Structure formats: structure tokens, C-alpha cells
Amino acid sequence: MRESVSVSPTPKADGRRKVVVGEDYGWPRTLDGDVLRAARLQDGQLPMRTPVRTPRTEGMADSDLLKTTFKGRAIVNCPDPTCPFRQCLFPPPSEKLPPLILHIKAPDGWGFEDGNRLTTLIEAASVLPLQYIEQLIDFGAVYYSVDESKKAKRVSADAPVTGGSYCRVHVNPKRYLNTYTTDWNSRIVSQIGDLIVIDKPYGVPSQPLVDNLVECSTFQVQQALALPTIHVTSRIDVATSGLQVLAKSSQAAESFNKQVRSRGVRKEYLVCCEKELSLGAVRHLCRAKSHKRRKGRDFLLSRYREGFDLTEWAEALLEILEKTRLENNQVQNVGHCWQYRVRIISGRTHQIRLQLAALSSPVIGDSRYWDLAGVLVDDLGADEVVTLGPDPERICLQAAELEFEVDGRAVGVKAAAPWWVAQEP
């Protein structure tokens, strides 16, 4: 199902269900699932995205997740009114489940001296079994704060709970099962000083997500090498494969990141498209980070023009170095296409994917931007609707080569043949 994003300035309801158990309170919802402190509800007034009180049922709230016997405060947020919830991590669900977030405030009378812990709190507020709660903690899907007005932090183990404290549980964490079919030791391409270069497979995040600490390349490499800590430097999209640089120390990570910021790291990608493109530089404008973005348009590119406003726009620049015609690959179902070697110069989010889509030649497999072929923000009307497709699991895009410096000497690293050539399953 495709996500339709309206560029109309009129705010729209987010469609999420809110279930409140316990005394009345005002925790407004934001789209990323955080809970912020706010004024209590006033008589008859219901601010946008404020939890809606629903009738109780015997033993459980309408969500089937909350217990009405809980004496603290709890709320469930889910985009689907009929959203099911998991009670174990394995075996994984056969279908992707919508995100479901449980927010809990501990009763004021609770104290750790009574033996109350995170697992106790979540058990008291929900019907989740203890084993699943412990799995979610190990998975990095549980957050806790002693003071509900402060940002909750991810917990790695069960911990004592005090009265009035806040807990957030991501009940349906997003899953990335390619993590378990990958031999991570064989994916380590090179270790140079405190830098680690890996060949990340598609379908796996390059860093921990808010609801999933485990199923990502960073965590898996840390486990494979038995490292006490690991730092993320370069990041590549979940659907993209290829070279990713990690660091064993914060100093090594900062040194590499300085090279990236100064454009001292040469990055070359292999990418497949259906349409033939010309060699040479490709320039567009993307929204600057300092720009007050208008929802629904922040990812769209604009035509390049000299003298652009630096507070509004930033340059998106890449160079198409080579092109090769690929004949039909029956095993990978890629079909007849053109493979390009591309050098990224500016380094923007989803840069290759967006720039090639703007050239009416989206990356093969990129369902998110496929329908945006040839679309630029310059050509849209003020209230025109922009449609995004679902996030793909894999696309024909590989971070193929890196060149950078370590202790004053040049280092070059190459990835193995891309999946659409290497005949991987």
C-alpha cells in the first residue's frame, strides 16, 4: 500500500488510535512516537493528537494489550485500529506488523525498595508475558526515564523502578531477518588501525534503530569481533549493499568523519537503471538542513541554478563515470538494464536514488521513488499531492569502492561483486 503525502499546509489527523487507562492526563502524541509533557485537558477541549479516553472493558482496555487493573497511567499508540501485537520474537511474524508503542507511567507510590523493576512495571500495565518483556529489553526495544519530563534512554537490562517514572515499550519492533542469514565474519573486508570496513548485505540497517538494537550490521560486527564498543561512521540505506566503515574508537570515528566532511573520502557506487544516461556531472539542489522544511516536500530536488540561497538549498552533486549494458539476468530478475559507476561528491541523504529518479531513471527495485521519475519540486503546484511507494528490501545500488587516508597514507577498499551479478540468493 502506498503512502500519500499531501503538501497542503492544513494539518491532518494522524489516524492513530489512542487508548487511555488510569486517571486523566495530557500526553500529546508526536509522529515519531515520543511522549511530551503538556497541559492537562480542559473541560470539553481535546487538543490535536491528545490521547482519547475510551470505555474500559473487564480485565483489559479496548486494545487487548492494557490491563484495567493497573494503578498508574498507560497509553497504546498504533496506526492500525486492529493492530495485533507479538508475544515472542521468534519465530518472527510471517507478515510485517505495524509499529505499536506502549507508554507507561509508574504509580506514584511505587519504589524500588519494594522490589519493583521494569519487568514488574510492564507486566502490571500490560498482558505481555515476562519472557517477551525480557526479550524486548535485550532487543533494545525498551526505554526508561526516572523523570517523565526528560528523554527516556534505551535500557540493556532489567532495572529498579521508582514512582512516577516513565517507560516506553516498542511492542512490535521492525524486523530485518537477513541479519541471521549472513556470515558476518566473512563480511569484514579490512581492518586498518581502528577502522573496520565491511561489505554490508541488503536488507539490513547499518546502525541500530529506535526499536531494534540487534538486527543491524553495527551490532553484528561488534559481536563477531567481540569488541567492547563500536562507532558508526558511514551509513548506507537498508536496501543498499556494499562498503560501510565502522570504528573501534571515538577518535578513529571522528578522524574519518572529518575526511568525509571535507570531501576527502572518495565514494564510488554501482547502480542499475533501465534508461541510458550520459556520462558526466549531475547537479540538483536539495533542501538545506537549516531550511524550515515543509512537510511532504523536504526530500524533493530542484533544478540546479547559480547563486542559489544557501539558507534554503544545498548542492547535490554526483558524477557518472562509466556505463555498461547488462543483458537479462534470469536468476536475479533484473532484466536488460544499464549499470553505472557513480562517484558521490556532495553526500546527501538518498542522493543517488533521488537524483537518478529526477532524471527519469530511478534505481531498479526502488519502489519508494519509482513513481517520482522526472518529478522536481519546481514543477509541483502549491497543493499538489506527492506519492511515495513502500520501502524496498533491496535495490540495485552498491557502495563499491572507498578511498581515504589512515595515518597519512592512502587506503583503497573494494566490495565483492554486487548481488545482481554475483548470483546470491
pLDDT tens series, the chain, 425 aa? 333 332 222 333 333 333 333 333 233 333 233 332 222 222 222 222 223 223 333 333 446 899 989 999 999 988 777 788 889 999 988 888 899 999 999 998 887 777 889 999 999 999 999 999 999 999 999 999 998 889 999 999 999 999 999 999 999 999 999 999 999 999 999 999 999 999 999 999 999 999 999 999 999 999 999 999 999 998 999 999 999 999 999 999 999 999 999 999 999 999 999 999 999 999 999 988 765 555 566 788 999 999 998 888 999 999 999 999 988 765 556 668 999 999 999 988 899 999 999 999 999 999 999 999 999 999 888 788 788 899 999 999 999 999 999 988 999 999 999 998 865 44
- Alpha carbon distance 368, 372 (integer Å): 8
- Alpha carbon distance 202, 238 (integer Å): 6
> Helix or strand or coil: residue 132?
helix
How many Cα atoms are found within 13 Å in the side-chain-facing hemisphere of 357?
25
Nearest to 217 by CA among 254, 253, 242, 191: 242
Nearest to 273 by CA among 371, 360, 394, 350: 360
Angle, CA of 421, 202 and 218, to the nearest 5°: 135
Note the Cα 235 to chain centre separation in Å.
Answer: 11
- Alpha carbon distance 388, 381 (integer Å): 17
Write down the pLDDT at residue 317. 96
C-alpha cell at 129: 508475558
318 and 342 Cβ atoms separated by less than 8 Å: yes
- Placement of cell 556520462 in the chain: 279
How many Cα atoms are found within 13 Å in the side-chain-facing hemisphere of 284?
25
Write down the pLDDT at residue 293. 56
Nearest to 368 by CA among 383, 387, 343, 355: 387
Nearest to 386 by CA among 3, 9, 1: 3
The torsion angles phi and psi of 418, rounded to 5 degrees, stand at -65, 160
What pTM was estimated for this model as a whole?
Answer: 0.82
- Alpha carbon distance 155, 164 (integer Å): 18
- Placement of cell 520474537 in the chain: 89
Write down the pLDDT at residue 92. 87
How is 22-57 classified by DSSP, letter by letter? SS-----B-TTS-B---PPPPTT---TTPPPB----
Beta bridge partners of 199: 243
Write down the pLDDT at residue 381. 84
- Alpha carbon distance 324, 326 (integer Å): 6
The torsion angles phi and psi of 344, rounded to 5 degrees, stand at -85, 130
- Alpha carbon distance 218, 229 (integer Å): 10
